[in-house]
Chains A and B, each alone.
Chain A
Amino acid sequence: MFSHGVISNYMIFAFTIPLTLGVLVSFLMYALKMKQVTRVQISLYNASVATLTLWSIINGVLEIYGTTNWKVNLYLGLYVLLFLGSLIVGAIDRDNRT
Chain B
Amino acid sequence: MAKKYLFSYIYGIFLIVFTIYILLDTFLIKSAYTKVNQTSYATANLEKGEITSTANLYEDNNIKIELEEYRKNDTTIYVADVQLSSSTLLKTAFANNTYGKNITAKTSAIAKDVNAILAINGDYYGVQESGYVLKNGVVYRSLASKNQEDLVIYKDGSFEIINETDTSINTLVDKGAYNILSFGPSLVENGNISVGTKDEVDRAKASNPRTAIGIIDDLHYVFVVSDGRTNSSEGLTLFELAEFMQNLGAKTAYNLDGGGSSTMYFNGKLVNNPTTNGNKVSERSVSDIVYIGY
Chain A interface residues toward B at CB < 8 A: 1-2, 4-8, 39-40, 43-44, 46-47, 50-51, 54, 58, 61-72, 74
Contacts and interface: CB of A to CB of B under 8 A. Distances in A.
Contact of A67 (B26, B205, B259): B26
Given A2-B277, A47-B8, A66-B127, 10 more contacts: A4-B206, A5-B204, A6-B203, A43-B11, A50-B12, A58-B23, A66-B202, A68-B130, A69-B22, A71-B25
A6 B15 contact: no
A81 to B, nearest CB: 11
A4 B25 contact: no
B7 A64 contact: no
Nearest to A44: B7
A72 B23 CA distance: 10
Contacts of B229: 4
B7 A40 contact: yes
B4, B8, B23, most chain A CB atoms within 10 A: B8
B128 interface: yes
Nearest to A71: B22
A35 to B, nearest CB: 17
Contacts of A40: 7
A67 B8 contact: no
Interface string B214-230: 00000000000000010
A54 B4 CA distance: 23
A44 B4 CA distance: 12
B8 A46 contact: yes
Given A66-B202, A71-B22, A54 B15 contact: yes
A3 to B, nearest CB: 9
Nearest to B21: A71
B204 A43 contact: no
B19 interface: yes
Interface in B1-36: 4-5, 7-8, 11-12, 15, 18-19, 22-23, 25-27
Contact of A68 (B19, B27, B129, B206): B129
A63, A65, A66, most chain B CB atoms within 10 A: A66
A70 B202 contact: no
Given A54-B15, A65-B127, A72-B22, A8 B203 contact: yes
B12 to A, nearest CB: 8
A43, A63, A67, A71, most chain B CB atoms within 10 A: A67
Nearest to A46: B8
Interface string B173-215: 0000000000000000000000000000111111010000000
A67 B128 contact: yes
Contacts of A50: 12, 15
A38 to B, nearest CB: 10
B11 A47 contact: yes
B26 A6 contact: no
Nearest to A67: B127
